[in-house]
Amino acid sequence: MDSFGSDFSSGGSGAKMDTGTIMEQVKVQIAVANAQELLQRMTDKCFKKCIGKPGSTLDNSEQKCIAMCMDRYMDAWNTVSRTYNSRLQRERARL
Partner 1 sequence: MQTMDGQGATADPQLQHFIEIESQKQRFQQLVHQMTEVCWEKCMDKPGPKLDSRTESCFVNCVERFIDTSQFILNRLEQTQRSKGGFSESILSE
- Binds partner 1 (CB under 8 A): choice among 28, 32, 58, 76: 76
4: contact with partner 1 by CB under 8 A: no
Q: Which of 28, 38, 47, 63 binds partner 1 (CB under 8 A)?
A: 38
Instruction: Quote the least distance from Cβ 57 to partner 1, whole Å.
Output: 20
Taking the complex as a whole, how short is the minimal distance between the CB of residue 76 and partner 1, in angstroms? Answer: 5
Dist. CA 30–CA 43, nearest whole Å = 20
CA separation for the pair 78, 76 (Å, rounded): 5
Alpha helices in the chain (DSSP H): 2-8, 19-50, 60-94
